[in-house]
Chain A
C-alpha cells in the first residue's frame, strides 16, 4: 500500500535528482553545433564559479533571505504576543491575518504589481505626494529590492505569527509568574523562560521560512521580472529565465545542483548552529 506513493515520489522526486546530477557533468545544448550530450567532466562547474552573474544572484538571494527572515521573526513575534491577549473579534482578526498564506504567490505578485504601477497604484502616488519620493520600481534597484522584501513580509509573516502563537500558548504560566514575583526583568524572563520553551517552534519556523525564502520565484517574477537590471534576480529566477531559455542544459543542471547543494548546506549549518552546539542532542 505504500508502494504507489513511493513509486510516484521516486519518479517525480528522486529520478529528476539523479538525472540532474548526471546531466550536470555533460555538455548538452540543443542549439549548439553538436546537440548531443557529451561528457564534459567538471567543466560546467568550472564555468559556474567564474560566472559573476550567477554569483551575484546567489548573494542577492542570501541577502533577501536574511532580510525577510529577520523582519518576519521580529514582526511575527510581536504580533503573536498581541494575539495572546484577549480581545473581542479575535477569531475574525486571526482569519483575516491568515488570508495571505492561502493566496497563490503569482496572485500576490499581481496584487503588489497593481499597488506599485506608476500612475495607477496608490504606493507611487502617495510616496510622491507625502514624501516627495519618486517611486518607480522599474528604475530604482533599491526600491525594487525593498518592495520585494516588503511583499514577502506581507505574504509570509502570518505563518510566523501563527507558529509562534502556537508556541507561546504552550509556555506554562507558573514559572513566568514566579519570576515576576521575584522581580525579574521582562527581557530576562523572555531570555531564560520563554525562549527555551519557544525554541523548537522557533527552529521549525526559521527552517521553513529559510527554505521558502531561498526558493522565492513566482511573486518576484510577477512584481519586478527580476529587474531592474539584475536587482531582484534571485537564483530561481536566474535558472528559470536566463539559463533555461538558452537550452544550455548541462550548464543549467550544474547550476541547479550547486543551488541544491547550497540550500542543503545552509539548512544543515543552521540546524547544527541552533541545536548541536549547546545541547549535543540525543
Chain B
C-alpha cells in the first residue's frame, strides 16, 4: 500500500469534492425540482439544470398564495420575537449567574440544560392540554396563538442561549462593571453601557442561532396551532397529501424553508458545534 499516494493533497481534495457532492446532491435536486415545469417532472432524472425549460412558476404560485404568505409571516414573527426575547432574558440570566453568588448555582444550571434535552414528543400532550384547558382566560387560550409558540420555543432556545451567553459574560472582566458601580451606576445602566457593547458579537450569534432553531421547529408548531398561527414548516408538511402531491411547489416551499438557515451558515459556522453540544466541545 502506498501511503504517500493516499495522503497526497490531490487525493484529499478529490475525496472532499466527492463528500461535498454527496452533501449537496439532495439539496441541488430539490432546487431542480422546484424550477421544473410540471410536464418535465417525470422521466429520466438528470442532475443538470436545463436553463431553457426552467421556470419560476412554482415560487410565484407559492408566494402568491395568501395562506402561505401568512404562514411565512407567522414564522418570521415567531422566530424573530423568540430570538429577541430569548437573547434578552438569557443575557440577564447569564449576567446574574456570572456576577452573583447564588445558592445552588450548579443545580440551576443543570436543570436549565435538561429542558433542552427532553424529547419534545413527550411534552406534546401535556402542553396541548395545558394550552387548551389550563392556560385559558375567558375565551382566549394560548392554543393557536403566536404568543403561545414564542413562549414555547423558549424551552429549547432559552437554555441554549443561556449557556452560550454565560461563557460570553464570564469572559468580560468583572473590574469593568465594578468600576461603573463605584461611579454610582445602576445595574441596568451597567448592563446597557458596559456589558451589552462587549457582549454584542456573542449576542448576535445567539440571536441568529436561536432564530434558526425557532424557524426550523415543526412538531410543536403542528400540534399547538390549527389555523391562525401555523408556521412555514407546518405549511411544508401540509403539501404532502394523500391525493397527488404537487412536487414542484413542495420543493419550492422546502427551498424557501432552508434558505435563511443556509444564508447565515457562514456567519455562525464556528459556533454551531459549540452550540449543539452545549459548549462541551469547542468547534
Contact = CB atoms under 8 A, between A and B. Distances in A.
Q: In their complex, do chains A and B touch, with some C-beta pair under 8 Å? A: yes
A276 to B, nearest CB: 18
A19 B281 contact: no
Interface stretch (B12-20, B51-59, B62-70, B171-179): B12-20
A32 interface: no
A85 B41 CA distance: 41
Contact of B276 (A117, A208, A240): A208
A233 interface: no
Q: For A6, A102, A126, which residue has the most chain B Cβ atoms within 10 angstroms?
A: A102
Contacts of A106: 216, 218, 233, 236-237, 257
Nearest to A102: B261
A5 B162 contact: yes
Given A104-B258, A111-B26, A253 B93 contact: no
Contacts of B29: 111, 114-115, 121-122
Contacts of A17: 118, 123, 126
Interface string A228-258: 0000000111011001100001001100110
B35 interface: no
Interface in B94-148: 95-97, 102, 108, 112, 115, 117-130, 134
Contacts of A20: 122-123, 125-126
Contacts of A107: 216, 233, 236, 254, 257-258
B17 to A, nearest CB: 8
Contact of B265 (A79, A95, A111, A218): A95
B218 A218 contact: yes
A125 B43 CA distance: 9
Contacts of A263: 118-119, 122
A95 B115 contact: no
B23 interface: yes
Interface in B196-225: 212, 215-219, 223
Interface string A7-42: 011011101110110010000000000000000000
A91 to B, nearest CB: 9
- Main DSSP-derived SS at the A contact region: helix
B247 A260 contact: no
Nearest to A117: B247
B236 A110 contact: yes
B83 interface: no
Contact of A8 (B24, B33, B89, B217): B89
Question: Which size bracket describes the interface of A in this complex?
Answer: 35 or more
- Main DSSP-derived SS at the B contact region: helix
Given A1-B96, A5-B89, A111 B254 contact: yes
A97 interface: yes
A115 B29 CA distance: 7
Given A16-B130, A93-B16, A102 B151 contact: no
A172 interface: no
Nearest to A225: B240
B266 interface: yes
Given A5-B90, A82-B16, A249-B125, A215 B30 contact: no
B126 A253 contact: yes
Given A4-B89, A9-B115, A244-B125, A99 B280 contact: no
B12 A85 contact: yes
A260 B119 contact: yes
B240 A4 contact: no
B251 interface: yes
Nearest to A204: B280
Interface stretch (A46-54, A162-170, A175-183): A162-170
B123 A221 contact: no
Top 3 A-B pairs, shortest CB-CB distance: A236-B121, A104-B216, A215-B119
27 contacts: A2-B108, A5-B162, A12-B152, A15-B130, A16-B126, A16-B127, A16-B130, A79-B19, A87-B13, A88-B13, A98-B265, A99-B23, A104-B257, A104-B258, A105-B218, A106-B257, A110-B250, A111-B27, A114-B29, A154-B26, A159-B277, A163-B281, A200-B280, A215-B120, A239-B124, A240-B223, A256-B123
Given A95-B266, A99-B24, 20 more contacts: A1-B95, A1-B96, A2-B97, A12-B115, A12-B154, A19-B130, A88-B9, A101-B272, A104-B261, A106-B257, A107-B257, A107-B258, A119-B42, A121-B29, A122-B45, A201-B281, A218-B218, A221-B237, A240-B124, A256-B123
